[in-house]
A and B are shown apart, each in its own frame.
Chain A
């Protein structure tokens, strides 16, 4: 695969190393001469000095034959133009832009350019992992209108040892599956929850928090 990356800094350097290590052809376009020299010494990639949003530079860099173009400069407007030129002028099948401002990810989408936001990805990873270790957000369904969440019940949970029908869950919430060791149970009202159970919950966003508090006993 031939990958053309426009940008600089550590992200570009380590991305290039990852791609070349897997045997891909990598071309780097960077507008800083000193950084170009450093990159050319340290990477098994072709390094082109110039403005990647300049149609002439893109052509010289060989955008025409690239399979993927990645635009990861610190300026969203440059990333947009790079991807549009690559797609429309050079017929590159896939172009992906970095949205430095997470709010711009949506703008890229509406303008027909695929984009990702590292800030948004990291924030959501931290939210999922750091808030409560025992809770994993499995997936949002229907654009986030339904949450599917997995919770590990430990001995301190107030619902351990109780029957499902005796636990007063807020409305619009469902204990869908209980995973107990090797067993997978579809629970009924007279199923008892035990410590170590992994409970798969379906909730609506408005009562997601209250349902979690009932099952973990934590105030949050």
Chain B
């Protein structure tokens, strides 16, 4: 993504969410971060120049407060797969967000949501792929992870 005026909404401000928020804010994107607990906003660096919204992202009013309608990208990073899948689908279907990504821990849930147009990233599959690459060397690691 080249457009630095793009608005990003990140749901969840834990380790992954805050890392993404800090990094993408530093890169010059306009970032809104949502979390149920305002304590997690301590994970943001002083250089973070985006907005913080405290609230439950499964509620439409909270997504409205985060101005999701004006966002080009939504990233759902909470620790609950189902929250991420809920928020991702709402962002796509109701708010018409162009690009929607969700972290999903359970690889068995990935396929069905790919069919529904939600791009999921599964930390287990990604880590497994990297381990296999490290063990077998680059050339042998192109196949799918079982």
Residues of A within 8 A of B115 (CB): 88
Residues of A within 8 A of B81 (CB): 53, 81
A56-B108, A89-B112, A103-B60 known; A111-B90 Cβ under 8 A:
yes
How far apart are the CA atoms of A89 and B109 in the complex, in Å?
10
Residues of A within 8 A of B85 (CB): 77, 80-81
- Categorize the interface residue count of chain B: 20 to 34
How far apart are the CA atoms of A55 and B61 in the complex, in Å?
30
Residues of B within 8 A of A54 (CB): 106, 108
Q: Which B residue sits closest to A107, measured CB to CB?
A: B90
How far apart are the CA atoms of A103 and B63 in the complex, in Å?
13
| A111 touching B93, Cβ below 8 Å | yes
| A55 touching B86, Cβ below 8 Å | no
| A77 touching B58, Cβ below 8 Å | yes
How far apart are the CA atoms of A147 and B115 in the complex, in Å?
42
B96 to chain A, nearest CB (A): 11
Q: Which residues of A from 64 to 92 have beta carbons under 8 Å from B?
A: 75-78, 80-81, 84-85, 88-89
A73 to chain B, nearest CB (A): 10
A161 to chain B, nearest CB (A): 51
Give the number of residue pairs across the A-B interface with Cβ within 8 Å.
51
| B93 touching A88, Cβ below 8 Å | no
| A55 touching B93, Cβ below 8 Å | no
A205 to chain B, nearest CB (A): 24
| B116 touching A84, Cβ below 8 Å | yes
Taking the complex as formed, is A110 at the interface, i.e. its CB lies under 8 A from any CB of chain B? yes
Taking the complex as formed, is A101 at the interface, i.e. its CB lies under 8 A from any CB of chain B? yes
Residues of B within 8 A of A110 (CB): 93-94
How far apart are the CA atoms of A84 and B81 in the complex, in Å?
14
Q: Which A residue sits closest to B109, measured CB to CB?
A: A55
Residues of B within 8 A of A75 (CB): 82
| B93 touching A77, Cβ below 8 Å | no
Taking the complex as formed, is B39 at the interface, i.e. its CB lies under 8 A from any CB of chain A? no
A54-B106, A85-B112, A88-B115 known; A76-B93 Cβ under 8 A:
no
Can you name 9 A-B pairs with beta carbons within 8 Å? Answer: A53-B81, A54-B106, A77-B82, A80-B82, A80-B89, A84-B112, A85-B109, A101-B59, A107-B94
B→A interface (CB under 8 Å): 58-61, 80-83, 85-86, 89-90, 93-94, 106, 108-109, 112, 115-116
Closest 8 CB pairs of A and B: A77-B86, A77-B82, A55-B108, A81-B82, A77-B83, A78-B82, A88-B112, A111-B89
